[in-house]
Amino acid sequence: MKKIKYSILLLLSILMLGIGACTKDFDKINTDPNKPSNAPATNLLAFSLQDFAANLWDSWGDIDEPESYSGQIAKIQYIDESRYQFRTGTVENMWTYLYRELKSLQVVINAAEASDNTDLQAVATTIQCYIWQVATDRWRDIPYSGALAADSGKLTPKYDKQEDIYPSLLNKLKATNDLFNNPSPSSNVGEGDLLFGGDVAKWQKFCNSIRLRMAIRISDVDPALAKSTIETIMGDLSKNPIIESNADNAFFNWAGAGTADILTDESWYTGLYLGSRLNNYAVSSNMIDTLKELDDPRLPVYANPVLEEKEQTVYRGSIIGLSGTSAPGGLSHYSFIGDFMQTIRQVIRPLCALQKLSLFWPKQPRRDGM
């Protein structure tokens, strides 16, 4: 009997040593093995560029909203946007996308500044200002000066006026141009530059061209600032280089071979083909009729012939804002977006180019923003 008792006591001691109320490993156990507590700044830059390109120009962010609101596209299913009815989800998603890119870029900027990586800092600030501009152009007044600080407990940032945001962005870009001109020796953008592949000179041209674009955009409402900005840049192009040839264009080159979840294809392809949303959209009758009237050779590029009459080549647009819930005559009665615009997986989307390449962009610089 004693044998049993002692062996039990021994067993207990072993167990107690194993169990204890020991919590000294708990912080280690609770450190996420799946995610880093710090990520390389250049890979955050890569995310911001890809996320921005993928979502701003996807079918929801681009075709449903700007293309439908401006009337190039007429929706023939889920007609809401063609009637200027916002869909909450689409708007909320875009808001989330842009701000998460802005925040990731802010982390890049802070990290670059701390490590005296001026090129990375300048590159991240350039694209961040571009995104700020897209955001304020889209929604006018937005949280700006107090934004991106939820991690320090500022959960409800105030809204800034667009009139204050534009000058602030122009100032930032001006300072960024100075950074480009005085790079630190330790500068290195790293592998994450999905836009220019680490070519800092092109980034600087991009930076100053954005300044010009902003200046033109506010020229009707703040001519003094517009004028001084343009004069500063054009007065010394060696210090303020701008995009001067197509080789300088800010084109986002898609990797291809993605899926509906792997966003590495051109975004219209992802949305229209992989996301099966092609037949939500007809080219608008305003668009098609105008091109026909002008006998414009670009018509077959922008629109496909209707499927209904296959024997002849018929282009038929839809009126904008159909009243019923479905398109009269069925979907195949209308011209869909042209193959050129929807079937190339690696096609590039211009962020900023010398000339407007696509009619799907506003013909005139928008001056009514402010």
CB of 7 to another protein, least distance (A): 10
What is the rounded distance in angstroms from the CA atom of residue 166 to the CA atom of residue 179? 20
* Choices 97-105, 179-187, 203-211, 222-230 (CB under 8 A): range interacting with another protein: 97-105
Q: How far is the CB of 332 from another protein (least distance, A)?
A: 4
By CB under 8 A, residue 276 contacts another protein: yes
297 near another protein (CB under 8 A): no
Cβ at position 288, least distance to another protein in Å: 18
**Per-residue x/- track, 120-149, another protein (CB under 8 A):** ----------------------xx---xxx
Bridge-based pairing of strands 250-252 and 349-352 is antiparallel
CA distance 336 to 278: 7
**Shorter beta-carbon distance to another protein: residue 80 or 137:** 80
Q: Of the candidates 10, 150, 234, 314, which one interacts with another protein according to CB under 8 A?
A: 150
Query: Least distance in Å: CB of 31 to another protein?
Result: 6
Q: How many CA atoms lie within 13 A of 37 on its CB side?
A: 4
Distance CA 326, CA 357 (A): 33
**Candidates 88-96, 111-119, 220-228, 232-240; binding stretch for another protein (CB under 8 A):** 88-96
- Nearest distance, CB of residue 84 and another protein, angstroms: 13
The b/e string for 346-358 (b: 16+ C-beta within 10 A; e otherwise) is ebbbbbbbeeeee
Q: Which parts of 189-208 interact with another protein (CB under 8 A)?
A: 191-192, 194
**Binding span for another protein by CB under 8 A among 169-177, 289-297, 324-332, 347-355:** 324-332
Whether the Cβ atoms of residue 214 and residue 170 lie closer than 8 Å to each other: yes
User: Using CB under 8 A, which of 52, 57, 99, 130 touches another protein?
Assistant: 99
d(C-alpha 265, C-alpha 263), whole Å: 6
1-60 positions binding another protein, by CB under 8 A = 1, 4-5, 8-9, 11-13, 15-23, 25-27, 29-40, 43-44, 46-47, 50-51
305: Cα within 13 Å, side-chain hemisphere: 8
26 burial class (0-12, 13-18, 19+ CB within 10 angstroms)? exposed
Label residue 175 exposed, middle or buried (CB < 10 Å: 0-12, 13-18, 19+): exposed
Q: Is 78 in the site for another protein (CB under 8 A)?
A: yes
Q: Which of residues 221-250 bind another protein (CB under 8 A)?
A: none
Count of residues in the chain: 370
Q: Does 286 bind another protein (CB under 8 A)?
A: no
8 A C-beta contact, residue 229 and residue 212: yes
Q: How far is the CB of 127 from another protein (least distance, A)?
A: 14
